[in-house]
Structure 1
């Protein structure tokens, strides 16, 4: 009889209260916000440990200018070892919730290959986001390798050329409706002192041979249409960006040849998972020659987009053609809860038309990962250190101040 009575203890499920409490604590810990930190806070805690640290609400919009300066040494596939001084300034002209962050960036780079790279770029939003003024000025003095046209070129048979380049692109965009803009710009590019440093080879196309020892000027108007719902272009966390640029280079504007190009740039940013502050980002770039033939050094090419960021995993200029199709996806995640350290993983593919035809050759993938170090929590500026891999043993380090896209 005693044996037939069930053991009450065995028949009632036992709840692991300790584990349950720990789980609740973990959830609360994850949901409790922590103050954002950047390298300024780290510097302060090391060298001024007894003075209070300015907290600052990173969500509050003010009209102060937030500066980020970075003197550093580095190494990339294109420059080798290089000394770099870079900086950006970020600010709001409008304190409303929909006000977009304006930014000005510049740097000076000198490399072991005696390269000089001096860009100055700005993206200014006026009050109420009524106008968007975009400036892109760059001076480059380069030895650089070229590998021929299309996707069937040998990575071990590059041809080194030297040249100087001045770029001046200025655009003014007017708001049509919320986040939608249309505008006109003037684009000027000049290449001079174009010299071959190696023996002429098959990689030196007939077009490039004609340009050696000369200068090339491309000058003309550009029409732009864009939709931009991002609030911060330095480090986008949300929104969508579309930009269509039609460029006309005409002898009437001082250009050495007449040609037209069309660039379609599309980007999207999604928080994933929700409320994680991690971001899944997508980027598509179509860069096409619609009429005529641009100078060789202005043909669509790896790493020669406006920000020089396409094709992580390959050296700048590795592929070149009349048309370029490009896609990249990147996952950005926090490593530290305070945002000081983060990481990314990325994949990309690129495809170029063969020679100067419309026929596309092979698809070339790239992939890799990197670390993010928060330099300025107010502008959300990161130091981006990425290592990328491509085909045929291509690999290298890629450095940016601000996100790649």
Structure 2
């Protein structure tokens, strides 16, 4: 089975390298795998890339006679529309096929790039995934409109509540899911933004297969029912001084989201949560291109009783990247405390290949009102392949290890955090 998966991964990567497609990433982001018609999403001076190489410099130098490295075009107010087929692999989905389409543009000159992306997918595990995401910046970056709309037919296993849960208690769940999120952030001063959002999560046809040992599962014990709706408002604050939001080498990032769900808006129950996302990047050693990065992601239910699948869980952050070493949903509970550190370094002088070493730790409580449980560690190495040298976008290939024999391959486009 392991050889079969390795062969499958090799086939997928080969297909990606020699076709003008988009990669379906574990964190649900879609980044062009072919030569793009735009540079990156940042309003910074583009670096001198004369001596750097990315993946397609290498491929085209092999197959194109007298190939000369070209410069990427800039995005203007004229929309750039692309629709392409794609394939990909994740630990949660196995092989996935999708039809990717996006629109990229600027609302005004000297404004950050805005994007609208839709990527319907069908996976080897019979999952239907239809996300539509948008990030629209207004003139002078005064406002940022962030949208996240999803429809999932999404079989996924749960292993019970708390970080003391046993891997042997796997319980396959099935459900259908619809999400509508819209957030508006306004620039307050410099790199500081604040704003409001509206959120709506609806899950229905929820069912479980049950644990193999026949015991009552935490899903059933939690009295989840067959449908849950969570809807309300969010209060958001953001500070971002990173030099590059795709692949930061220095700077500081903090995001706060307070979520309040109201029954008068249609929420099954009233509950409130707080997410605190903190990231810090250092060049280490100073003056080198190597980076020491730290990440703290804390997701806390303040009061109320969310539906079982609304509880904080491994790999259910917005980027779906917490907990390398464990499958998505491995740990779940009312409180989540997460820490990670990663060291990123060059392997080749031209920046084509790089490496990382990472270590993380997470702790979850069980049901609301219970304390945090055992700390669960994860660690591993990773390879980075430069996909776009201007935006510093990498293909991230990591192999993570966790407790109870948990291990697996994690593939992203862009850094994990």
TM-score between the two structures when normalised by the length of structure 2: 0.79
The structural deviation recorded for 1:189 is 0.7
Equivalent pairs counted in the alignment come to 366
Provide Cα deviations, 1:313-358, integer angstroms capped at 9, x if missing partner: 0111111111100011111222222222222111110011133324
Q: Match of 2:314? A: 302
- Structure 2's unaligned 5+ residue stretches are 1-47
Which residue of 281, 287, 295 maps to 2:293? Answer: 281
In the alignment, does 2:265 pair up with 1:250?
no
> Structure 1 53/231 Cα, relative in aligned 2: closer, same or farther at 3 Å?
same
Decide which of 197, 222, 228 is 2:240's aligned counterpart: 228
Deviation for aligned residue 1:66: 11
Is 2:274 the counterpart of 1:262? yes
CA contact (8 A) 1:100 1:232 kept: no
Alignment of 1:184-203 (within 5 A): 184-198=196-210, 201-203=215-217
What SS is found at the alignment partner of 2:351? coil
Q: Which stretches in structure 1 are left out of the alignment for 5+ residues?
A: 1-31
TM-score, normalised by the number of residues in structure 1 = 0.82
What's 2:409 paired with? 397
Q: Distance in 1 between matches of 2:219 and 2:209?
A: 15
Q: Which one has the largest radius of gyration?
A: 1
Question: Aligned partners of 2:243, 2:112: CA distance in 1, in Å?
Answer: 5
Are 1:35 and 1:55, in contact at CA under 8 Å, matched by a contact in 2? Answer: no
Match of residue 53 from structure 1 = 69
Instruction: Report matched runs for 1:129-140 at 5 Å.
Output: 129-140=141-152
Q: Specify whether residues 398 and 227 from structure 1 end up closer, same or farther in structure 2 by C-alpha distance, changes over 3 A only.
A: same
Partner of 2:389: 377
Deviations along 1:98-121, one digit per CA (max 9) or x if unpaired, are x75655555444322111233333
For the aligned residue pairs, the C-alpha RMSD in angstroms reads: 2.8
2:344 aligned residue (332, 343, 357): 332
What is the SS of the residue equivalent to 1:44? helix
Equivalent position of 2:176 in the other structure: 164
Cα distance in 2 for partners of 1:362, 1:297 equals 21
| SS at 1:294 equivalent | coil
How many Å separate the matches in 2 of 1:293 and 1:163? 19
Q: What is the rounded CA distance, in whole Å, between the counterparts of 2:83 and 2:388 in structure 1?
A: 6
